[in-house]
Amino acid sequence: MDLKTLTYIVVGATFALYLGIAFWARAGSTGEFYVAGGGIHPIANGMATGADWMSAASFISMAGLIAYNGYGASLFLMGWTGGYVLLAMLLAPYLRKFGKFTVPEFIGDRFYSNTARIVAVVCLILASITYVIGQMKGVGVAFSRFLEVDYDTGLYIGMALVFFYATLGGMKGITYTQIAQYVVLIFAYTIPAMFISMNLTGNPLPQLGLGSTMADGSGMTLLAKLNLVVTELGFKEYTTQTIAGRLDMFVYTLSLMIGTAGLPHVIVRFFTVPKVSDARSSAGWALVFIAILYTTAPAVGAMARLNLHATIQTGEIGSPEGNLSYEERPQWFKNWEKTGLLQFEDKNGDGRIQYYNDKNPEMAAKAEGFGWKGNEMVKVDRDIIVLANPEIAKLPHWVIALVAAGGLAAALSTAAGLLLAISSAISHDLLKGVFMKGISEKSELRAGRISMAGAIVVAGYLGLNPPGFAAGTVAIAFGLAGASIFPALMLGIFYKRMNKEGAIAGMIAGISVTMLYVFQHKGILFIKGTEFLGDLGPNWFLGIQPNAFGAIGAIVNFAVAIMVAKMTVEPPQHIQDLVESIRTPRGAGGATH
């Protein structure tokens, strides 16, 4: 059976499963729509949390980052997994004890202020919309290749699928769908990795294959061989390559950690279990399920980089007998060219593909002697690495089809969770919580579905013009969440003296500083540049990247909030008693309307 037909069958079967589950588990009440009725088993919730958490950035982009940035990309592994530990230990059980539907609802009640609730909604929407762009990019990338349609068409198909099962089932449908999606995505990620590890090293476990000896008889380890290949092409040594200075790397990792702990679509998963102890248990199970993919990702990235270079670069740089002939390029190359995510330009007219680091002076000088005119691989989108890897390695068609289904499962599962968080913020926190307090449950449910449909349209529009590869966009979303929501939650739980004035001022200051730093430089995300600041450069503050600035924004948030709280009246006694109750997470607080 040809690859296209098999891919249609595998992807179609998984989508039929998701839609069937959504119809079976459709929400009939606001409790089921927002928190799945609060009755999900901890293991099932841990698996759903894993799917919700392992987005297109984890499945598609992270290995691409590792492939191109080597050792330096370890900050994504440390930040995202470390942040989940932070969330599980410091926030999840206490928020479950509070027993509300949404994060803005907690902030509004804890800080006895509708203004605080509205500010939290704004922060949530900004972070979630930015995050969902990465998921829509992943959907478009996967569909464009494996269904052989253009990127825009792939994105429209993904929007329609998310619209159906997310609006129909709410959190209840999304939870059970995500359990199925986790099974699909984890098999899709690990099975090709095992095949490739076996081919390259003879070791079926990719985690061990990463440090094993190559099976080609060279006697070199896989990492040593990769170092040799990339340095011959003028790139930095893979195992020592970094993407930031020490301070920047530390701040970047911290930003990802606190951003993880401040993401509303992840936090809300702990409202779906029956008891506080179940929140702790489901967090532990989620870490186990997440670790399976995260320990595999470094091997996938390294092996993908080795296979890609070995396929394209077949001889001495620029020599007539070396390099890959364009006419003889493999089928996977032709397939990805159709998507526009892989592009070649024959700059010297020799019909061969010259590929190496054109920013390296030594390589440029060497190539000039052969008539090289510039790196002819003018585009290699990092987001194709995981999806193209099985094709490059010439794995069976069913494995390639499985990867397509896995990539789509990862993107769709997280997109659904994010869109539900946005929908809940609008329908539950703004409409019912502030502007239309007497709204009926039926009307609130309808408003939730309408707002989710609107969020899907906005996310799809932004996905049509993505600002960069998925993980980079996601990193900014983490920074926004870490700078605004995380400090408010921490202070709300652990600092009784924190009042509404401090919390509001802190959230506004944190997210404003972060957005200003991210958006002021030309070419970053949506805004071309703020003229009154001038073009200061992307890393003008201590060399810190915009993607990493969320940690600095969080420090500003904490500082402003505490200073303002100390200068204003302390919160009412019943609020301070509430904080004491939250910090003693015994028993189960049922979710309230």
pLDDT: which is higher, 588 or 166:
166
What whole-number distance in Å separates Cα of residue 444 and Cα of residue 436? 9
Rounded distance, CA 259 to CA 57, Å?
14
Q: What CA–CA distances, in Å, run from 256 to 132, 424, 567?
A: 16, 24, 31
Distance, CA of 51 to CA of 185 (rounded, Å): 8
For residues 49-54, give the mean pLDDT.
74
At position 527, the amino acid (one-letter code) is I
* Phi, psi dihedrals of residue 242, rounded to the nearest 5°: -125, 160
How many angstroms separate the CA atoms of 276 and 267, rounded?
Answer: 13
- The burial of 41, by beta-carbon neighbours within 10 Å (0-12 exposed, 13-18 middle, 19 or more buried), is given as middle
Contact call for residues 302 and 210 (beta carbons, < 8 A): yes
pLDDT at 55: 67
Retrieve residue 227's tokens: 């170092």
Task: State the Cα torsion 369-375-377-383 to the nearest 10°.
Answer: 140
**pLDDT 10s digits, 402-421:** 877 777 777 776 777 777 77
How do residues 485-531 score in pLDDT, each as one tens digit?
A: 899 999 988 888 899 999 999 999 999 988 888 776 534 444 444 44
Tell me the pLDDT of the chain averaged across its residues: 77
Say if strands 342-344 and 352-353 run parallel, antiparallel, or are unpaired: unpaired
Query: Which neighbouring-strand residues pair with 221?
Result: 213
CA distance 248 to 236: 19
Query: When comparing pLDDT for 462 and 488, which is higher?
Result: 488
> Tell me, what's the pLDDT at 152?
78
8 A C-beta contact, residue 59 and residue 292: no
Note the residue count of the chain: 593
Residue 302 vs residues 112, 297, 456: alpha-carbon distances, Å: 51, 9, 35
C-alpha–C-alpha distance, residues 379 and 492, integer Å: 47
| Contact (Cβ atoms closer than 8 angstroms) between residue 31 and residue 591 | yes
**Which tokens sit at 284?**
């532990």
Q: Which two tokens stand for residue 463?
A: 């996905």
Task: Provide the 10 A C-beta neighbour count for residue 349.
Answer: 8
The pLDDT score that the predictor gives to residue 33 is 56
Q: Which residues contact 458 (CB under 8 A, 6 or more apart)?
A: 129
pLDDT of the residue at 466: 59
What single DSSP character describes residue 221?
B
Interhelix angle 470-494/500-519, nearest 10 degrees = 160
What SS3 state is found at 318?
coil
- 3-class state of residue 324 by DSSP: strand
Task: State yes or no: pLDDT of 85 exceeds 90.
Answer: no
* Nearest of 326, 390, 394 to residue 355 by alpha carbon: 326
Q: Cα separation of 560 and 570, whole Å?
A: 15
With both helix axes pointing from N to C terminus, report the angle between 74-90 and 276-294 in degrees, rounded to the nearest 10.
170
C-beta neighbour count of 528 within 10 angstroms: 12
Residue 377, SS3 per DSSP: strand
CA geometry: angle 475, 380, 153, nearest 5 deg: 80
Nearest to 463 by CA among 22, 251, 167, 162: 162
Domains in the chain with CATH codes = 3-303+393-582 (1.20.1730.10), 342-380 (no CATH)
pLDDT at 587: 47
Handedness of CA 187, 192, 198, 203 (dihedral sign): negative
Confidence of residue 168 (pLDDT cuts 50, 70, 90): low
The phi-psi region of residue 247 (left if phi > 0; otherwise alpha if psi is between -120 and 50; otherwise beta) is alpha
With CA atoms as reference, report the closest residue to 182 among 36, 304, 21: 21
Longest dimension (CA), the chain: 81
Q: What local confidence, expressed as pLDDT, does residue 248 receive?
A: 80
Taking a C-beta distance cutoff of 8 angstroms, is the pair 203, 212 a contact?
yes
Rounded CA-CA distance 517/549 in Å is: 7
Stretch (H or E) spanning 462:
helix 441-463
Q: Which two tokens stand for residue 250?
A: 């530390």
Whole-structure pTM value: 0.76
- The sign one gets for the Cα dihedral 480, 483, 488, 493 is positive
Q: Is the pLDDT of residue 202 over 60?
A: yes
Give me the sign of the Cα torsion angle 541, 542, 547, 552.
negative
Report the C-alpha gap between 457 and 159 in whole angstroms: 8
Q: What is the pLDDT of residues 334-384, one digit of tens each?
A: 878 877 778 888 877 777 777 777 777 877 777 777 777 777 777 777 777
pLDDT, average across residues 461-471 = 60
| pLDDT at 563 exceeding the cut of 90 | yes
Alpha carbons 190 and 293: distance in angstroms, whole number: 7
Burial of 385 (C-beta count, 10 Å sphere; 0-12/13-18/19+): buried
Separation between Cα atoms, residue 502 and residue 361, nearest integer Å: 53
Quickly state the pLDDT bin for 568 (edges 50, 70, 90): very high
DSSP letters, 192-216, are HHHHHHHHHHS-S-HHHHTTSBPTT
Around 453, how many Cα atoms within 13 Å sit in the side-chain half-sphere?
9
